[in-house]
């Protein structure tokens, strides 16, 4: 029987990223079958190894030194500890780059130039190399030399001005969405460049800026502004569809999504307010958007009269969007989340072997599914094996490099 491998099987990725945007990108490449070699600083590693607590708990219930944060974006990688501030370390990385299909880095603009590891430094040794640089603000423009952080980008990119209650303060999104979306854009661009390189033999440089990606995914709200000058927050209301928001019920709060005029008619029938269907203020979605406050005054007390269970049952029966507002306990107990196997358990190397639960990949490919080959690695767990396999270093050479602090 042929072993099932991911669509990126055979692609070698040298991963010089840390924190989240870059590691999230390379984890996706690893899930899709690429061999990802993560370069880390000897003795310290990726900064997120220290973003804790919480830490992984071993089989005896004791905390380990491995952070849960690090586990979130470093599955399917091999950790190689190399000090590239050392000339010998720079030489090792250039040799690894020459054998790689992809390099991904997310240091501040210009940092790797100082060590002879920029795209221009290495492209002639590997003409087919796809080299992706992820930075806060890209390689050009007045902010190019600034460091980028998710919170800063959320503030500068406008999402905080759009998030939160109408009369409240600007609010960041509860997960580092700027980092995550940057990683996703980078992964898409890398896959496109791999395809091009395989057909032409020519690699390229990919410039991904966090602020750029943030502005791009403002999507419909950004377009609303460009074409109508709309600004500010709507709380949990949708800017272009009404009603489409949370409602308080007799015993809680649920989300009701009325996506079109036909659904509005069915909703009004369930709610016992059929007269609203022909009301000149609410007949169409356009009118409802223009008169959202007036409609809210009518609908809020109607929904509040009955239980959440009533509304969820009746609305779902008529194919009207609705659902609970879950906390994380409820998310991971949800039968749909369980059925889709969105938590994956793997054996981690820490303390001789500990089971860890990871968030699964949502990518469901019928012929080349994602694979879970390596749990997030210990710092330098694969240094010796990778250096021997890819560069042919023998025990004496590895020992010498270790004694010099070049590898760990």
Tokens representing 345 are: 């358990």
Dihedral pair phi/psi, residue 192, rounded to 5°: -65, -40
Contact 261, 284 (CB under 8 A): yes
* Adjacent-strand bridge partners of 105: 16, 133
179 is catalytic: yes
Dihedral pair phi/psi, residue 131, rounded to 5°: -120, 115
Q: Which single residue is written with the structure tokens 């919480």?
A: 54
- Nearest Cα residue to 376 out of 121, 34, 36, 32: 36
Q: Which of 179, 279, 334, 389 is catalytic?
A: 179
Dihedral pair phi/psi, residue 36, rounded to 5°: -110, 120
H or E element, residue 160? helix 159-162
User: Counting Cβ atoms within 10 Å, is residue 266 exposed (0-12), middle (13-18) or buried (19+)?
Assistant: middle
Query: Count of CB atoms within 10 A of residue 178's CB?
Result: 29
Dihedral pair phi/psi, residue 316, rounded to 5°: -65, -35
Query: Count of CB atoms within 10 A of residue 283's CB?
Result: 15
Cα Rg of the chain (Å, integer): 25
HSE of 269 in the Cβ direction (CA atoms, 13 Å)? 11
Residues serving a catalytic function are 179
């Amino acid at each position: 029987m042929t072993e099932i491998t991911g669509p990126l099987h055979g692609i070698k990725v040298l991963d010089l990223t840390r924190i989240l945007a870059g590691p999230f990108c390379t984890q996706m490449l690893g899930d899709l079958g690429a061999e990802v070699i993560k370069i880390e600083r000897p003795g310290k590693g990726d900064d997120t190894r220290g973003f804790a607590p919480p830490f992984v708990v071993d089989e005896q219930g004791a905390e380990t030194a491995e952070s849960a944060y690090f586990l979130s974006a470093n599955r399917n990688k091999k950790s190689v500890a190399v000090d590239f501030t050392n000339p010998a370390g720079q030489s090792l990385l250039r040799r690894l780059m020459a054998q790689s299909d992809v390099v991904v880095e997310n240091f501040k603009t210009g940092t790797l130039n100082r060590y002879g590891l920029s795209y221009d430094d290495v492209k002639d040794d590997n003409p087919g190399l796809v080299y992706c640089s992820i930075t806060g603000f890209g390689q050009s423009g007045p902010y190019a030399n600034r460091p980028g952080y998710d919170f800063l980008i959320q503030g500068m990119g406008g999402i905080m001005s759009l998030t939160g209650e109408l009369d409240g303060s600007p609010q960041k999104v509860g997960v580092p969405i700027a980092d995550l979306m940057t990683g996703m854009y980078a992964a898409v661009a890398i896959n496109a460049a791999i395809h091009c390189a395989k057909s032409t033999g020519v690699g390229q440089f990919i410039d991904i800026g966090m602020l750029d990606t943030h502005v791009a995914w403002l999507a419909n709200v950004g377009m609303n502004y460009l074409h109508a000058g709309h600004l500010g927050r709507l709380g949990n209301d949708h800017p272009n569809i009404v009603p489409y928001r949370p409602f308080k019920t007799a015993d809680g709060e649920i989300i009701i999504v009325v996506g079109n005029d036909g659904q509005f008619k069915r909703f009004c029938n369930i709610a016992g307010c059929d007269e609203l269907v022909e009301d000149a203020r609410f007949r169409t979605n356009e009118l409802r958007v223009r008169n959202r406050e007036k409609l809210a005054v009518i609908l809020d007390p109607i929904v509040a009269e009955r239980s959440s269970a009533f509304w969820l049952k009746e609305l779902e029966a008529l194919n009207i969007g609705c659902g609970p507002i879950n906390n994380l306990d409820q998310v991971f107990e949800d039968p749909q989340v369980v059925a889709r196997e969105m938590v994956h358990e793997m054996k981690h190397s820490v303390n001789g072997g500990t089971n860890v639960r990871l968030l699964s990949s949502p990518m469901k490919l019928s012929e080349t599914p994602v694979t879970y080959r390596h749990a997030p690695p210990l710092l330098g767990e694969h240094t010796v094996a990778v250096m021997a396999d890819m560069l042919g270093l023998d025990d004496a050479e590895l020992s010498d490099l270790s004694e010099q602090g070049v590898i760990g």
